[in-house]
Structure 1
Amino acid sequence: MWVIHQFLDELYQDTVKRNPKTYDEDWQSSLTLKFQELLGSFKSDVSLQPTIIEQKVYDQYTRYSIEITTLPSVRLQMYVLVPNNLKGKKAPAILALHGHGYGNKDIVGLDPSGNDRKGDPGLHKDFAIELVKRGFVVMAPELIGFGERTYSIDKRQSPSDNSCYSLASQLLLFGKTLAGLRVFECQRVLDFMEDFKEVDSSRIGCMGISGGGLIAAFTTILDKRIQATAISGYTNTFKGSIMNRRHCLDNYIPGILQYAEMPELIALMVPRPLFIESGKMDHLFPVKETEKAIKDIKSIYSERNVDHLVKWHLFEGGHEICGDQSFEWLCSTLNPEEQ
């Protein structure tokens, strides 16, 4: 077995050493284009056709369930949380992205059946609710492959079963990726967000956890409408995380190491503000590699004289949302009127 490990280690070292080490605007532009190519592109000229499915009023906010069209024959459901005290004013908005689990219900305080949850909020910590209570309009799409959006051929044994493998493996045959499809759908949510009357489209942020952190990073890289991003439980190196254990197939971007390691990829969002949070006991994305990634990202931001825009919090915990600093960072960066 050591021979196989040695082979992969040598292949990695030989590949990444050929990556560019200067991070100017030309590097950023060319790598962003290559990254979009590797993800695979999706296009749609169909209208969003938004439909309100449900509305429920709470003390501090109102929750809507809304569907939009993303691709021909494809509908996306999202929860939209709106502070009750806006009184005609526009507010900054957050694109909130769940990780692996039972879908977007998991971040808006609902159990798998859609009822108000009474137990432990789990790794997601109902972070969409935490953000709407701080004055943000929050849009939480159900990422394709999770919850009610699993592939029809997959028979779920539990609410947390997903269709990541089925969808990702088939999309690869078309030269596309599941991450690319999820990013595209998030961009369709951003289209909807721009026209939402309560949203100040000049103050759009993003936050995601785990696989949702991946999509938060990748969407921010490719869509400059997002002005600030908080990534939880993802920032690392491919070598130290994705290559270090078996991960979900939705993490894999064909050929990416020929052009960038994960820190270089995340740094493509320079000069927009970035917050990184990670648990010191995260077993999926080890903290030592997170520290290395932060150092590399900060170095790239430094080349553009904006290293002060990279903030981070390594907290006492595991693979989970923390929020102790990230929520307030989003507030100070995007300036909502707190309730």
Structure 2
Amino acid sequence: MTDSILFATDKYMANLDDSVVRTFDYKQALDGGDWTQWQRSFRKQLSSLTGLTEIREQNLHLPLSPRVVEVQSFPGYRREKIYIATEPGIEIPFYLLLPTEGEGPFPLVLTPHGHLRKGKEIYAGNYINPEEREEHLASEADIALQAVAEGYATICMDVRGFWEMSRVEEFSNNWVCSCNELQKRAFMYGRTLIGERVHDMGRLIDYAATRTEIDTEKITITGFSGGGTVSLFTAALDERISVCVPGAYFCTFAGSIMNVPHCLCNFIPGIMKLGEMYDIAGLIAPRPLLIVNGVDDPIFPIEHTREAFAHTRAIYEAIAPSHPDRCELYEGNGGHRYFKERVWPFVRQSNRTEE
């Protein structure tokens, strides 16, 4: 068999690109100047496309029904393990970490994880042996511990499809996640895992608002890889997020999701008819956005990250010309991992600016 008779993917993609004019290409708003209408209409369409609008409506009156099942004390913080309802019969397991020093209410940090089988356990520092601890500390994956050490109330959850939110079939076989099986089922009903995960983040914010120890006027969301995906889309679709720091994710769809093998959970049918990833990031403006990517990340190539950032920066400069520093790219010296060096100074400065 010769290459000449195999499917011509490059030509196929060129045909698709030529056939689509993105409805919410930011350049249209750049020409017209009506950014408020652009964001409002785009957010509404994106919410519908991901299935989020319908999910929210179906669960609008569902009680949170919180269950606190464990409380532990650690140096510098107290940790509660809690479950809340997100859909009938479906609960989100999460840790709430509260600083034991300083005066509340404490600003909130949400820390969605990526493709880590043990999900929240890794971000919260629950390691089974020294080797596992060394592995994840090397990639600075203890994000929940970083956040609470900085003085933030921190919610560290299992993202839908992982650990306690994975299906028994995958969990019992030690698979990393249930993303493929859950996504296929979601697609059949006009939903997506991204929409479901953004809904879950919203339910966690709803719960945080019931806690007097937490200041829900200041909410940061940060995670890396799949956690970066959840961070970006949650901030784009839920305006309660004050600061967004997606790690090891931000790029162009063309240069990453459609160019390098990725988990099915990254895909939203029809998204390219609405906008590129940098257009979606424009829905966060003028709220602070720090993009953190490694220069050697093989699945989110840095040249495409830089390209996407230039577009998003143009949106920020148009919407908030007096605050161009609210949109920043930090390039870490490494691959597909988290880089904390710039994260917490950026979050601190952003929280001060909002006061």
Question: What TM-score, normalized by structure 1, do the two folds share?
Answer: 0.93
1:239-261 deviations in whole A, cap 9, x for unaligned? 00000022111100110101100
Partner SS for 2:189: coil
Q: What's the counterpart of residue 126 of structure 1? A: 142
> Kindly tell me: are residues 299 and 48 of structure 1, through their superposed partners in 2, closer, same or farther at Cα, counting changes over 3 Å?
same
Q: Which moved more, 1:65-74 or 1:16-25?
A: 16-25
Pairing partner for 1:316 from 329, 333, 353 = 333
Residues 287 and 16 of structure 1: CA distance in aligned 2, closer, same or farther (over 3 Å): farther
2:42 aligns with 31
- The residue that corresponds to 2:32 in the other structure is none
Aligned with 2:10 (options 5, 14, 34): 5
| 1:334 corresponding residue in structure 2 | 351
Residue 250 of structure 2 aligns to a residue in which SS?
coil
Deviations 1:160-218 (A, max 9, x none): 62100000001100001111111101100000111211111211111121111111111
One-letter amino acid of the structure 2 residue matched with residue 37 of structure 1: S
The equivalent residue for 2:85 is 69
Q: Letter of the 2:110 partner, please give it.
A: L
Q: Which moved more, 1:17-26 or 1:6-15?
A: 17-26
Find the residue that maps to 2:20 and give its secondary structure. helix
| Matched letter for residue 324 of structure 1 | E
The residue correspondences of 1:91-102 to structure 2 (distance < 5 A) are 91-102=106-117
Q: 1:22 aligns with which of 15, 20, 28?
A: 28
Partner of 2:162: 146
Shift of 1:325: 0.5
Query: In the alignment, which of 155, 167, 188 is matched to residue 203 of structure 2?
Result: 188
The runs of 5 or more residues in structure 2 that have no matched partner are: 1-5, 30-34
Correspondences of 1:173-252 after superposition (within 5 Å): 173-252=188-267
Distance 2:132 2:16 in 1: 47
Contact 2:66 2:83 in 1 (8 A): yes
Cα distance in 2 between the residues matched to 1:303 and 1:116: 48
Say whether the 8 Å CA contact 1:142–1:149 is kept in structure 2.
Answer: yes
SS at match of 1:239: helix
Question: What amino acid does structure 2 have at the position aligned with 1:316?
Answer: N
Distance change in 2, residues 1:18/1:65 (3 Å): closer
Structure 1 CA distance, aligned partners of 2:236 and 2:23? Answer: 22
TM superposition shift of 1:154: 2.8
SS in 1 for 2:68: strand
Residues paired across the two proteins, number: 333
In structure 2, the partner of 1:162 is 177
Distance 1:282 1:239, change over 3 A: same
1:137 Cα shift?
Answer: 0.4
Identity of paired residues, percent?
28
Matching residue within 298, 301, 306 for 2:316: 301
Comparing both structures, which one devotes a greater share of its residues to helix? 2
- Counterpart-to-counterpart distance in 2, 1:117 and 1:129: 16
How far apart are 1:19 and its partner, in Å? 5.2
Contact 1:107 1:124 in 2 (8 A): no
CA contact 1:106–1:112 (8 Å) conserved in 2: no
Deviations 1:280-305 (A, max 9, x none): 00011000000001100000111112
Write the deviation string for residues 79-106 of structure 1: whole angstroms up to 9, x where unpaired.
111111135x211110111111121111
SS at match of 2:71: strand
Give distance in 2, aligned partners of 1:333 and 1:298: 17
Cα offset, 1:18, TM superposition: 6.4
**In the alignment, residue 15 of structure 2 is paired with which amino acid?**
E
Match of 1:111 in 2: 127
Measured after TM superposition, the shift of residue 314 of structure 1 is 0.5
